[in-house]
């Protein structure tokens, strides 16, 4: 009986103890799960689960040979956890926070005060940036310091290996995304999609091995393939830059187009932007004037008009015309030539060789307003090119129902209209291609990460004038190169060249000024044209006729023919008479 009572007391005591302990834990559980649940959950989430961006790689921009013009390189952001920023031991010696910041400062060339501000602004924070965008070499130096509260994040950064070469076309990136050129217009191809990695870390701030909670893989961007050859682009930029400076010009452009398919092999602007140093360029120099800046082209338009009139059966290279010293357009107004002359007896070829504005209107006397408009528009004047470059201008031709009594006569020789350099290059491609206008092409496609190519440009051509009309016009342009006033400047030894020059007046506030825009455009070899080239200088101070553009044209044409190993010309050119 005594034993049974003792046993009962012990059991009662034990049960009581269990009850007390259970009550305590139940109470704590209630506090944790109910009273402090939100606070504790937030702290656990903030202190244990960390998300990091997994950056996708933005696609490259490459030239026709695969040479990289824009690419993405690895850079690193150095970060810290202010809440864990304390003194630490290194080789049994204490390293203070201030000493650690000083070491980082010396490696990264960042002021200690800036680093100190980063970690003291919110001492309880888990994350802050110390230095952004360092190279792998700098990162390794920082890692060698062994600072336990310093971390890093990968941050892909845009770079342009060839600098200003093609900078006018490629464009550049800003802090928040693409800002200009192909970087902006083709962002849908180039852009990457970032992923995310979420993992757990311990109280010491270190990632817990095997603790990945979520991972979304990044998707890399595609590659834009350009038609330009970066070596020829570099050479073209060098030529127009040097000559533009010599002439005191405000700007210069040069286009080189392969005639058979309309591919742009070089598209040079001067001045031009270096995407690696955007701040070093003026805003006006950050785009591509070739496409975006229209101007009155002047006499380089005359072959377009002549080819169309041949196509319509109105003239041929041998037709004879009496050209007076001036041409009346009514209301006491007259069209004159760039040089004074009496009544001349010129052939169609002679009018082109002498670049006679008067002669052009004598020949075009049968063309009404609509016919004149249609001639220019059929060659792409007044329309954006197929490139459709960012900010491209369509140029301007007055519609037949609104064109004034003077412009209807001047537009056929390049005054009273505006064009871009790209439009003139396209027109000369058409003449050199036996009258077939191919879509001007700068981008051959977007190669996706899986190797498929999308967004390929159109390739179908349009027969603007007959092959005979185009070929006869090229033959007359060869006569311009042989005996015209630029004959000693535009030649390329061993090759037959066909050209036309232009010296256009610049209008401001409704009146023409003394400023000029000068051009030389042409094709070669004349017997089988392979390349069309247009060189233009805007507002030169020291020489203001197309004579000043001739040497640059010859240099570029000579380099292009040699670069692509075009065999020297064969056969003899036609000796068209220019007078009768």
Q: Where are the beta strands (DSSP E) in 48-113?
A: 49-54, 61-62, 68-80, 88-90, 93-95
Output the pLDDT for position 207.
59
- For residue 538, pLDDT over 70 is answered with yes
Q: How confident is the model at residue 2 (pLDDT cuts 50, 70, 90)?
A: low
pTM (2 decimals)?
A: 0.84
Output the pLDDT for position 227.
98
> 467-483 and 421-432 are packed helices; what angle lies between their axes, rounded to 10 degrees?
110
Measured CA to CA, the distance from residue 499 to residue 481 in angstroms comes to 6
- For residue 70, pLDDT over 80 is answered with yes
Q: How confident is the model at residue 13 (pLDDT cuts 50, 70, 90)?
A: low
Measured CA to CA, the distance from residue 551 to residue 71 in angstroms comes to 35
Q: pLDDT for 376-400, tens place per residue?
A: 999 999 999 999 999 999 999 999 9
Q: How confident is the model at residue 330 (pLDDT cuts 50, 70, 90)?
A: confident
Output the pLDDT for position 346.
98
Residues 84 and 124 sit within 8 Å (Cβ to Cβ): no
Measured CA to CA, the distance from residue 336 to residue 347 in angstroms comes to 18
Measured CA to CA, the distance from residue 225 to residue 503 in angstroms comes to 35
- For residue 321, pLDDT over 80 is answered with yes
**Pick from 181, 161, 175, 171: which is nearest to 72 by CA?**
161
Please give the torsion angle defined by the CA atoms of residues 441, 442, 447 and 453, in that order, rounded to the nearest 10 degrees: 0
Residues 383 and 394 sit within 8 Å (Cβ to Cβ): yes
Q: How confident is the model at residue 196 (pLDDT cuts 50, 70, 90)?
A: confident
Query: CA angle 226-230-233, nearest 5°?
Result: 105
User: Helix (H, G, I), strand (E, B), or coil: what is residue 136?
Assistant: helix
Q: CA of 339: how far to CAs of 253, 325, 413, 525, in Å?
A: 27, 9, 15, 30
Output the pLDDT for position 217.
86
Residue-by-residue DSSP string for 552-570: HHHHHHHHHHHHTTPPPP-
Q: How confident is the model at residue 31 (pLDDT cuts 50, 70, 90)?
A: low
Residues 58 and 73 sit within 8 Å (Cβ to Cβ): no
């Amino acid at each position: 009986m005594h034993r049974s009572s003792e046993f009962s007391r012990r059991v009662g005591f034990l049960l009581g103890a269990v009850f007390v302990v259970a009550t305590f834990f139940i109470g704590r559980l209630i506090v944790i799960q109910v009273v402090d649940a939100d606070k504790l959950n937030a702290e656990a989430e903030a202190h244990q689960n960390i998300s990091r961006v997994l950056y996708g790689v933005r696609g490259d921009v490459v030239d026709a040979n695969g040479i990289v013009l824009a690419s993405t390189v690895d850079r690193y952001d150095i970060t810290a956890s202010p809440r864990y920023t304390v003194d630490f031991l290194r080789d049994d010696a204490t390293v203070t926070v201030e000493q650690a910041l000083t070491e980082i400062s010396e490696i990264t060339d960042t002021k200690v005060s800036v680093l100190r501000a980063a970690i003291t602004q919110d001492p309880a924070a888990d994350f802050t940036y110390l230095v952004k965008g360092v190279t792998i070499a700098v990162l390794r130096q920082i890692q060698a310091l062994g600072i336990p509260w310093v971390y890093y994040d990968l941050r892909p950064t845009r770079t342009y290996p060839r600098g200003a070469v093609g900078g006018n076309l490629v464009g550049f990136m800003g802090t928040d995304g693409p800002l200009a050129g192909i970087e902006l217009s083709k962002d849908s191809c180039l852009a990457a999609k970032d992923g995310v990695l979420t993992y757990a870390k311990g109280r010491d701030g270190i990632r817990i091995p095997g603790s990945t909670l979520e991972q979304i893989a990044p998707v890399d961007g595609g590659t834009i393939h350009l038609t330009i050859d970066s070596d020829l682009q570099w050479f073209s930029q060098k030529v127009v830059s040097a000559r533009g400076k010599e002439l005191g010009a405000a700007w210069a452009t040069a286009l080189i187009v392969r005639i058979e398919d309309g591919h742009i092999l070089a598209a040079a602007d001067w001045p031009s932007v270096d995407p690696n140093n955007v701040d070093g360029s003026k805003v006006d120099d950050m785009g591509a004037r070739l496409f975006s800046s229209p101007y009155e082209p002047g006499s380089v338009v005359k072959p377009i008009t002549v080819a169309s009139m041949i196509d319509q059966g109105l003239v041929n290279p041998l037709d004879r015309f009496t050209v007076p010293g001036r041409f009346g357009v009514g209301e006491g107004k007259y069209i004159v030539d760039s040089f004074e002359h009496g009544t001349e007896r010129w052939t169609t070829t002679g009018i082109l060789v002498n670049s006679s504005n008067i002669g052009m209107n004598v020949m075009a006397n049968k063309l009404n307003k609509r016919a004149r408009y249609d001639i220019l528009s059929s060659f792409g004047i007044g329309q954006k090119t197929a490139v459709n470059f960012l900010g491209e201008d369509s140029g301007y031709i007055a519609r037949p129902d609104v064109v004034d009594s003077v412009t209807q006569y001047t537009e056929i020789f390049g005054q009273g209209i505006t064009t871009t350099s790209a439009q003139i290059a396209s027109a000369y491609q058409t003449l050199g291609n036996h009258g077939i206008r191919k879509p001007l092409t700068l981008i051959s496609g977007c190669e996706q990460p899986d190797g498929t190519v999308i967004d390929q440009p159109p390739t179908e051509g349009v027969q603007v004038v007959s092959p005979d009309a185009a070929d006869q016009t090229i033959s007359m342009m060869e006569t311009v190169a042989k005996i015209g006033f630029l004959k000693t400047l535009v030649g390329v030894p061993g090759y037959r060249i066909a050209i036309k020059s232009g010296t256009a007046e610049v209008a401001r506030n409704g009146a023409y000024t003394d400023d000029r825009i000068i051009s030389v455009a042409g094709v070669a070899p004349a017997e089988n044209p392979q390349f069309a080239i247009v060189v233009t200088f805007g507002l030169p101070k020291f020489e203001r006729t197309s004579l000043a553009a001739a040497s640059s044209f010859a240099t570029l044409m000579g380099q292009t023919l040699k670069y692509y190993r075009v065999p020297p010309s064969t056969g003899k050119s036609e000796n068209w008479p220019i007078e009768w």
